[in-house]
Amino acid sequence: MQDRADIYPLLYRILSAEIWGKDFSLSDEERHLLPALFQEARKQAVIGLVAGAFIRRNIPMTPQATARLLMWTQTVRRGNIRLNEAVVRLASWFKEARIPLVIVKGQTLAQIYPDPLLRQSGDIDFFCGTGRFGDARDLLARTTGLKFLESVPIKHEEFEYEGVIYELHRILSIFPCKRHQKAFNRQMDEAMTRTGEIKINDTGIPVIGPTDNILFQTAHVYHHVFREGIGLRQLCDLALTLARYREETDTDRLRRQLEAVELLRPFRALCQVLTDTLQLPAALLPFPLTDQDRKWGKRIREDIERLTYFGRNQVEQDEKKSRRGIILRNCRRYFALTPRHVLYIPLEMMTRGE
């Protein structure tokens, strides 16, 4: 198997070309890496973007390879079409019931990509404010007769309707420190008072505003980096959000919000990852970067490449044991970056029986 050190520079080059609309070419040596590169792109949940990059630029490939690329793009496109329809339907239910709603991640972020149908889809995450969870749950039970499949008691409940997985969130991210949790919950409730819209299938879909969205994405990415791994798809999301909404981002408020939940330094480290891997221009960042950001960015990048999307390179049969090992390892790796976050994790794990 090819070493990740050979694969990832090429993968980053292809992804940055795709999301920023640039060209790329392949050397003969790089062509030998393609089978391993496509495998890694699938683990990182970016195969639609990678396959689309080759097709859109008419990169010469064997007939068999071309057929696989077409199959991957068609699969991703079909999934997005299905989820776009589901998002529009969900928004209509809540609008009719006059219950506040925002769709987060997923299909709303896909709309800022050059080709929204090539961002690999997953489930549909939505939030109605911490005080409206019960109202939302009752509405869904009346409207669909659905049964909830899974519950993460303090975070969300999951259900399936017509083949689509939905997550109704009580809160939008988990923090081991109660003070940080309360601050973040308050920030997200405030975000519900300054929502915007993004068009999906010519329908306005409610979303949180750009500054709050950057805060939420940072919390989401760092949570998964710390606990199980995150995919390059989430890095593309954050890079495109920062670029698209640079002029609309309230940098002073963003700094205050990130500091209140001990995420300013992780955010800056993630920005360093984005400039190093996806060639996000430094001029589009809300804050200048430092040598410390480069140090922590390198560490986070190593873990993203090692674990891939939700830890697919490490989480095997004993999923609980594997994730516990990742968390404990990262308590050591990231203590100096987010000390309060780390100090409260053992208590959180004992409380949940981990």
Q: How many CB atoms lie within 10 A of CB 168?
A: 21
Q: Is the dihedral of CA 344, 345, 349, 352 positive or negative?
A: positive
Which parts of the chain fold into alpha helices (H)? Answer: 4-20, 28-31, 34-43, 47-56, 63-97, 106-110, 133-144, 178-191, 210-227, 232-244, 251-260, 264-277, 291-307, 319-333, 339-351
pLDDT score for 153:
63
106 phi-psi bin (left φ>0, alpha ψ -120 to 50, beta other)? left
pLDDT score for 17:
97
- Domain boundaries defined on the chain: 4-351
pLDDT score for 150:
57
Per-residue pLDDT tens over the stretch 302-312: 999 987 655 45
Per-residue pLDDT tens over the stretch 91-120: 999 999 999 999 999 999 999 999 999 999
Q: What is the pTM of this model?
A: 0.92
What's the chain's Rg over C-alpha atoms?
Answer: 20
pLDDT score for 353:
47
Per-residue pLDDT tens over the stretch 243-296: 999 999 999 999 999 999 999 999 999 999 999 999 999 999 999 999 999 999
Q: Which residue type occupies 208?
A: I
Percent of the chain with pLDDT over 70: 91
pLDDT score for 318:
44
Per-residue pLDDT tens over the stretch 153-174: 678 888 888 889 999 999 999 9
Q: Can you tell me the distance from the alpha carbon of 161 to that of 152, in angstroms, rounded to the nearest whole number?
A: 19
Q: Can you tell me the distance from the alpha carbon of 147 to that of 267, in angstroms, rounded to the nearest whole number?
A: 37
Q: Can you tell me the distance from the alpha carbon of 244 to that of 242, in angstroms, rounded to the nearest whole number?
A: 6
pLDDT score for 311:
47
pLDDT score for 46:
97
pLDDT score for 235:
96
| Nearest one of 89, 144, 83, 91 to 119, comparing CA atoms | 83
Distance set, CA 136 to CA 203, 218, 291, 332 (Å): 21, 26, 46, 40
pLDDT score for 317:
44
What's the angle, vertex CA 13, arms to CA 9 and CA 18, rounded to 5? 150
pLDDT score for 149:
60
Do residues 118 and 77 lie in contact, with contact meaning Cβ atoms separated by under 8 Å?
yes
In the predicted model, what is the mean pLDDT of the chain? Answer: 90
Per-residue pLDDT tens over the stretch 38-92: 999 999 999 999 999 999 999 999 999 999 999 999 999 999 999 999 999 999 9
Q: Can you tell me the distance from the alpha carbon of 113 to that of 120, in angstroms, rounded to the nearest whole number?
A: 11
Q: Which residue type occupies 344?
A: Y
